[in-house]
């Protein structure tokens, strides 16, 4: 597990493969994550991984190994751009997310023919919203009562995006 002293090490992203799915599933199932992000079955992950419009990226650093993952889906929609479907880091709340988001924005705008990277996040996920804002995302709008949480409650979601022109500025 990474320590604070290694937060300055460069974050690298590599395209994920089937062998990464145990790490992905364990990370999205960390305690407390069930109210913050969806948790897919192995079969759902396998199906997503096999789709042309989906990309898994593993965040890693030489000293720590894997520290998080990102799912992009769709990878590059002609109209809406690239959706950051899911991001999880381990451990959260220690600055890793900021590093992964910075590396992700570079990867997306250098690698993909997309002008927009976007996501939706629960309004109650204040930690993620702060990380996205800090990375340069703007809040575009609100989807009210637009998700059913595992405990049956409904949650609001905020749409956030960053444009290629903002990334390159």
Ligand X SMILES: CC(C)(COP(=O)(O)OP(=O)(O)OC[C@H]1O[C@@H](n2cnc3c(N)ncnc32)[C@H](O)[C@@H]1OP(=O)(O)O)[C@@H](O)C(=O)NCCC(=O)NCCS
- Positions touching ligand X (CB under 6 A) are 33, 36-37, 87-89, 92-98, 119, 121, 125-128, 130-131, 134
Residue among 65 and 113 whose Cβ is closer to ligand X: 65
- Minimum gap (Å) between residue 61 Cβ and ligand X: 13
Residue among 70 and 163 whose Cβ is closer to ligand X: 70
Spatial separation of the C-alpha atoms in residues 114 and 105, rounded to whole Å: 11
Order the strands of the 55-61 sheet from edge to edge.
12-15, 55-61, 65-72, 82-89, 116-122, 154-163, 138-148
Closest to 85 measured CA to CA, from 114, 48, 137:
48
- Minimum gap (Å) between residue 99 Cβ and ligand X: 7
Chain position whose Cβ is nearest to ligand X = 97
Spatial separation of the C-alpha atoms in residues 39 and 46, rounded to whole Å: 13
Residue among 41 and 52 whose Cβ is closer to ligand X: 41
- Minimum gap (Å) between residue 55 Cβ and ligand X: 17
- Minimum gap (Å) between residue 42 Cβ and ligand X: 19
Spatial separation of the C-alpha atoms in residues 3 and 118, rounded to whole Å: 30
Residue among 76 and 96 whose Cβ is closer to ligand X: 96
Residue 68: in which H helix or E strand, if any?
A: strand 65-72
Query: Which residue shows structure tokens 């929609």?
Result: 77
Residue among 14 and 134 whose Cβ is closer to ligand X: 134
Q: Which long-range contacts (CB under 8 A, 24 or more apart) does 48-53 make?
A: 48/73, 49/16, 49/17, 49/18, 49/21, 53/77
Q: Output the six-digit token pair for 36.
A: 């913050």
- Minimum gap (Å) between residue 21 Cβ and ligand X: 17
């Amino acid at each position: 597990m990474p320590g604070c002293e290694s937060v300055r090490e460069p974050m690298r992203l590599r395209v994920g493969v089937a062998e990464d799915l145990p790490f992905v599933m364990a990370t999205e199932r960390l305690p407390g994550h069930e109210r913050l992000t969806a948790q897919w079955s192995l079969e759902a992950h396998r199906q997503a991984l096999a789709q042309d419009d989906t990309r898994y990226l593993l965040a890693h650093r030489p000293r720590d190994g894997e520290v998080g993952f990102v799912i992009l889906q769709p990878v590059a929609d002609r109209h809406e751009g690239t959706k950051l479907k899911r991001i999880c880091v381990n451990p959260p709340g220690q600055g890793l997310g900021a590093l992964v988001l910075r590396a992700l924005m570079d990867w997306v705008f250098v690698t993909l023919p997309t002008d927009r990277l976007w996501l939706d996040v629960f309004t109650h996920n204040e930690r993620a919203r702060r990380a996205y804002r800090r990375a340069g995302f703007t809040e575009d709008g609100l989807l009210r009562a637009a998700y059913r949480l595992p405990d049956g409650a409904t949650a609001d979601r905020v749409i956030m995006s960053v444009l290629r022109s903002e990334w390159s500025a």
